[in-house]
Amino acid sequence: MTVLTDTILAGDCRALMPAHGPFDMILADPPYGDTSLAWDRRVDGWLPLALAALKSSGSLWVFGSLRSFMATADQFAAADLKYAQEVIWEKQNGSSFHADRFKRVHELAAQFYRVDTPWSAVFNVVQTTPDATARAVRRKRRPPHTGHIDAGHYLSEDGGPRLMRSVIYARNCHGRAIHPTEKPSALLEILIRTSCPEGGLVGDWFAGSGAAGEACRLSGRRYLGCEIDADMAELARARIAAVLPFDGGAS
């Protein structure tokens, strides 16, 4: 059977995606169900299907608000998915609802894995970042004698890459997005590099703009997405096709 990659299927992910597994990693940005907008309705029944299409060493990253995760916690438990950790996407310009008392400038991405798989067996590559380095303590050494003043010499007492922080700042896509809830591809690439091996297959069950497909091509992963809006799916396919795939062996 020919495996579809680097494209987006148009239709309901529950009907189309299970047949194309197993996936090394599943990424999902489903409607949160937080608003009265017509399209913002929680999708039922997709979690057990996603689990069945996920490799035993794979994990599932799901975007959502705390409100949406609290409302659907029983569905994750019923699907035999175990919570692992979460990251917070901090964006420069958020949103607010009528009842809010704070401006929302963050969203959550939570990671889940199979209850029958030990966490140590779940694929993971630790991400590091220079901007998480502790501030170096720099002390100026006095010149060896007063008769000859050399350039001041500074010595770094601390440094090196550190574990990436769980709060990740990334500008949102306002003004250039092709989907109303589009996530930055740079943010998605961090999750993909963490949880999918090079050359592995990422399943994007609510593809939207295809940002995850762009991130996969740039990071050397295979990608298959599904978007229920046929017009959006076509725009997303064009976006992915315009990105040159990463070639680790290129000079």
Tokens 């194309």 correspond to 20
Position 129 scores a pLDDT of 83
Q: How much is the pTM?
A: 0.84
Q: How far apart are alpha carbons 214 and 239 in whole angstroms? A: 7
Q: Looking at the structure, do residues 178 and 101 belong to the same domain, yes or no?
A: yes
Q: How far apart are alpha carbons 49 and 32 in whole angstroms? A: 19
Note whether 194 and 125 are within 8 A (CB): yes
Note whether 220 and 243 are within 8 A (CB): no
Please report, for the domain that includes residue 50, its CATH number: 3.40.50.150
Q: Looking at the structure, do residues 151 and 229 belong to the same domain, yes or no?
A: no
Domain end point (choices 114, 142, 162): 162
Position 36 scores a pLDDT of 81
* Range scoring the smallest mean pLDDT among 41-45, 113-117, 170-174, 218-222: 170-174
pLDDT in tens, 210-245: 999 999 999 999 999 999 999 999 999 999 999 876
Q: Looking at the structure, do residues 152 and 170 belong to the same domain, yes or no?
A: no
Q: Looking at the structure, do residues 122 and 201 belong to the same domain, yes or no?
A: yes
For the residues of 153-216, what is the DSSP string, one character each?
EEEESS-S-EEPPSEEE----TTT-SSTTPPPHHHHHHHHHHHS-TT-EEEESS-TT-HHHHHH
pLDDT in tens, 69-112: 999 999 999 999 999 999 999 987 766 666 667 888 899 999 99
Q: Looking at the structure, do residues 119 and 60 belong to the same domain, yes or no?
A: yes
Q: How far is CA 55 from CA 72, 115, 123, 195, 215, in A?
A: 23, 13, 10, 12, 21
pLDDT in tens, 119-177: 999 999 999 887 655 555 555 555 555 555 555 554 444 556 788 999 999 888 776 77
Which pair of tokens denotes residue 186? 């740079």
Q: Looking at the structure, do residues 103 and 39 belong to the same domain, yes or no?
A: yes
Q: Looking at the structure, do residues 68 and 168 belong to the same domain, yes or no?
A: yes
What percent of the chain clears pLDDT 90, i.e. is strictly above it?
Answer: 65
CA-based R_g, the chain, Å: 22
Closest CA to 166 of 95, 243, 106: 106
Owning domain of residue 94: 7-127+164-241
Q: Looking at the structure, do residues 177 and 102 belong to the same domain, yes or no?
A: yes
